[in-house]
Structure 1
Amino acid sequence: MDKNLQGIEYLQQGKVEEALKLFTERIEEAPEDPTAYINFGHVLSAVGELQRAEAFYRKAIEVDPDAGAAYYAFGTFLYEQNHLEEACKQFEQAVQKGLQESDAFFMLGLTFMQLDQATFALPYLQRAVELNEEDVEARFQFGLALAKAKVYDEAIKQLEQVVKAEPEHADAYYNLGVAYAGHVNDAKKAIEMFNRALDVQPDHALAGYGKKMIEKATEES
């Protein structure tokens, strides 16, 4: 078996030292291959050696500046450390270098969402959904981005697909409630969505608050 693949198996089994040994051997055999540096970085990140992990991700990019996977791996690492602006740059590089996978577009879009830049997130989240229509979280984030961009009808359509695929998605029900209340002005439908969110997650504070506000407005009118 390929040493990178075997090393990943060891890592998944919690055999950190064995994984590092194989990745080290692979680096010695093919120092121009970025994959082993990426995997070494994953191991170091998993055990909390963040500075060393970052060095290996940077080394992967250094040995092959055209390896989209290296930028993606480094971007994911930075995202996990909440260095969002730098993560965004790495994900953009990953896509520009030819990494045309759903996860790359999703992470780029998600990072823009975390940076409160929904308009920039939209095309990447849309592409993530196009590439993997079964990715419920990508579709949910796409729906949120549409709502923030005030494209409400399409946002509702996407969020309805989310709850159809994942009936226990409380946040999708909540956001549908917001859309029905604020855009469609359908209080009955909004309360229904808030109730569904609360059925799934009884302590969903936002859904509870939204329901109370609509009920209060209805009583006053």
Structure 2
Amino acid sequence: MEYTEREAQRLFEEAYTYHMMGDIDRAIELYKQSIEVQPSAKAYTFLGWAFSMKNDYEKAIEYCKKAIEIDPDFGNPYNDIGAYLIEQGRFEEAIPWLKQAIVAKNYDARHFPRINLARIYLATGRLYDALEEVEEALKLEPDYKPAHVLRHQILGMLN
């Protein structure tokens, strides 16, 4: 690993530490420094996440789109854009982003976009579609407790 890549990674890890401690402003500063040293889809995605925690969803989406420009196969920013659009009540706009996250080549958490789709379908009265997405999420991550909770909620509404 070359020096610039190591330095960018070090800055990213420091940013993430501050992010997890709740110092979002310092995390943003360090994610930006990491990107200045060497832009990465991951750093842009996490920078977007930090802005979402300040309820600046437009900036969060902007940074996720930059992440996608760098690595269109990285699934996280697609799911994150979908989640940020959900937070804004822009359900129909969120659906294609979440579906793209599900099929992205480089993504380990495919249950998240499934749950986000279920949230949209639940909010828009499409209970059977919501249940189907939850079931798919549970196939991917059987121990994901929020999916079990959502499943029981939907089943209760269907009865």
Q: What residue number does 1:130 align with?
A: 139
Q: CA-atom RMSD, angstroms?
A: 2.3
CA distance in 1 between counterparts of 2:76 and 2:41 reads 9
Give structure 1 stretches of 5+ with no counterpart.
151-178, 180-221
Q: What residue number does 1:23 align with?
A: 31
CA distance in 2 between counterparts of 1:126 and 1:14 reads 33
Residue 15 of structure 2 aligns to which amino acid in structure 1? Answer: G
Selected match of 2:88 from 75, 81, 102: 81
CA distance in 2 between counterparts of 1:46 and 1:141 reads 23
CA contact (8 A) 1:110 1:125 kept: no
Selected match of 1:108 from 88, 103, 117: 117
Q: State the identity %.
A: 25
Residue 92 of structure 1 aligns to which amino acid in structure 2? Answer: K
How far did residue 8 of structure 1 move?
Answer: 1.9
Secondary structure in 2 matching 1:92: helix
Where do 1:58-207 residues align within 5 Å?
58-98=65-105, 99=107, 101=109, 102-146=111-155, 179=159
Give structure 2 stretches of 5+ with no counterpart.
1-8
CA contact (8 A) 1:106 1:138 kept: yes
CA distance in 1 between counterparts of 2:49 and 2:108 reads 21
TM-score normalised by length of structure 2: 0.78
Going from structure 1 to structure 2, the CA distance change for 1:108 and 1:35 (only over 3 Å counts) comes to same
CA distance in 2 between counterparts of 1:135 and 1:17 reads 31
CA contact (8 A) 2:44 2:66 kept: yes
Q: What residue number does 2:4 align with?
A: none
Going from structure 1 to structure 2, the CA distance change for 1:123 and 1:50 (only over 3 Å counts) comes to closer
How far did residue 76 of structure 1 move?
Answer: 1.3
Q: What residue number does 2:5 align with?
A: none
Instruction: Judge which range, 116-125 or 72-81, deviates more.
Output: 116-125
- Number of residue pairs matched? 149
Residue 29 of structure 1 aligns to which amino acid in structure 2? Answer: V
Runs (4 or more) in structure 1 with deviation over 4 Å come to none
Going from structure 1 to structure 2, the CA distance change for 1:112 and 1:100 (only over 3 Å counts) comes to farther
Where do 1:3-14 residues align within 5 Å?
3-14=11-22
Q: What residue number does 2:44 align with?
A: 37
How far did residue 107 of structure 1 move?
Answer: 1.7
Residue 37 of structure 2 aligns to which amino acid in structure 1? Answer: E
Going from structure 1 to structure 2, the CA distance change for 1:112 and 1:26 (only over 3 Å counts) comes to same
TM-score normalised by length of structure 1: 0.59
How far did residue 85 of structure 1 move?
Answer: 1.3
